């Protein structure tokens, strides 16, 4: 059977899987990667996932970039990230907490309320915890696992949500402490950048021009690009190119779609135009990238 789109993985697909504790479609908690065999191949994540390595190591691919996770490392995997489990050591001990962004909006907003932290996490999703921080998050996980397993408790959902809220607050504080002080964006720039990212995620397949997004936000293209660059270090155009190329790479590696079909999926006028665009930004043609 031909694969014509990137596979997706949400919490709803993990229910009733041995080794995974779920709370409806809101949360999933597990500590065994083998419980999710779908991760052996690139897959689009439909949840916000926090993972901490306690022992051993694991190698993940996040948005086509290899990440080596060592003891004490905590990684934030955001919705729509392309995730793949590459390998792990025999002595791996790690924990995973997945949250549905649609049914836990109040929790996700805790991250977005401090946009400098959010942008830092977008660029550097891996945070190394010291011994005290590692102990703190290990206790959060043990408590979450115990409360999630108490299925007869009528207050189970509320208890879990509040534990996760406290955990996210601690994560925000820890990440804020690691942000270089001279690189902290201003609030206005953060707000515009976040609005741009939201719109880009919806429309990057159809629109690659900054003017489209500027018009949506009632701004000039030049002003939008300046604000996004101040907030993130990249212009709006660079972010659009990054997102289009990422999608193209994933489609080339994970589907059976032809280059022509991929160019149509990403709204290019023809295969030749797409090929030149891809090679200009990556240094290699789509065909050679697929074979690499």
Where along the chain do the CATH 1.10.10.60 domains lie? 187-291
Using an 8 Å Cβ cutoff, are 44 and 6 in contact? yes
What is the CATH code of the structural domain delimited by 187-291?
Answer: 1.10.10.60
Task: Look at the domain 8-182 and name its fold.
Answer: Jelly Rolls (2.60.120)
pLDDT tens, the chain, 292 aa long = 455 566 777 777 677 777 788 888 888 888 888 778 778 888 888 888 889 999 999 999 888 888 899 999 988 888 888 888 899 999 999 998 888 876 666 666 666 665 454 554 555 478 889 999 999 999 998 998 899 888 899 998 889 888 888 888 888 788 777 765 555 545 688 889 888 998 998 999 999 999 999 999 999 999 999 999 988 889 999 999 999 998 999 889 878 899 999 999 999 999 999 999 999 999 999 999 998 8
Where along the chain do the CATH 2.60.120.280 domains lie? 8-182
Query: What letter does residue 167 receive in the DSSP assignment?
Result: H
Using an 8 Å Cβ cutoff, are 47 and 79 in contact? yes
Q: What is the pLDDT of residue 116?
A: 55
Q: What is the pLDDT of residue 186?
A: 55
Q: What is the pLDDT of residue 179?
A: 64
Rounded Cα distance between 259 and 163, Å, is: 46
Q: What is the pLDDT of residue 266?
A: 96
Q: What is the pLDDT of residue 143?
A: 93
Query: What letter does residue 251 receive in the DSSP assignment?
Result: H
């Amino acid at each position: 059977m031909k694969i014509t789109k990137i596979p997706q993985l949400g919490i709803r697909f993990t229910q009733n899987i041995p080794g995974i504790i779920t709370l409806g479609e809101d949360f999933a908690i597990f500590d065994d990667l083998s419980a999710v065999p779908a991760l052996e191949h690139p897959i689009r994540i439909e949840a916000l996932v926090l993972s901490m390595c306690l022992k051993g190591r694991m190698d993940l691919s996040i948005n086509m970039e290899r990440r080596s996770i060592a003891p004490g490392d905590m990684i934030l995997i955001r919705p729509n990230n392309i995730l793949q489990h590459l390998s792990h050591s025999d002595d791996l001990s790690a924990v995973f907490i997945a949250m549905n962004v649609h049914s836990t909006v109040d929790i996700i907003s805790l991250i977005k309320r401090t946009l400098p932290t959010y942008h830092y996490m977008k660029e550097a999703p891996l945070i190394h915890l010291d011994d005290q921080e590692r102990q703190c998050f290990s206790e959060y996980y043990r408590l979450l696992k115990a409360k999630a397993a108490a299925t007869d408790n009528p207050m189970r959902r509320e208890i879990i949500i509040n534990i996760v809220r406290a955990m996210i607050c601690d994560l925000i504080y820890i990440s804020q402490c690691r942000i270089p002080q001279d690189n902290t964006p201003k609030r206005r720039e953060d707000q515009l950048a976040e609005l741009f990212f939201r719109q880009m995620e919806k429309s990057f397949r159809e629109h690659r021009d900054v003017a489209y997004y500027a018009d949506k936000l009632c701004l000039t293209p030049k002003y939008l690009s300046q604000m996004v660059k101040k907030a993130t270090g990249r212009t709006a155009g660079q972010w659009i190119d990054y997102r289009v190329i990422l999608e193209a790479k994933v489609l080339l590696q994970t589907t059976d779609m032809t280059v022509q079909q991929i160019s149509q999926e990403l709204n290019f006028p023809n295969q030749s135009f797409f090929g030149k665009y891809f090679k200009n930004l990556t240094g290699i043609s789509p065909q050679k990238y697929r074979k690499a």
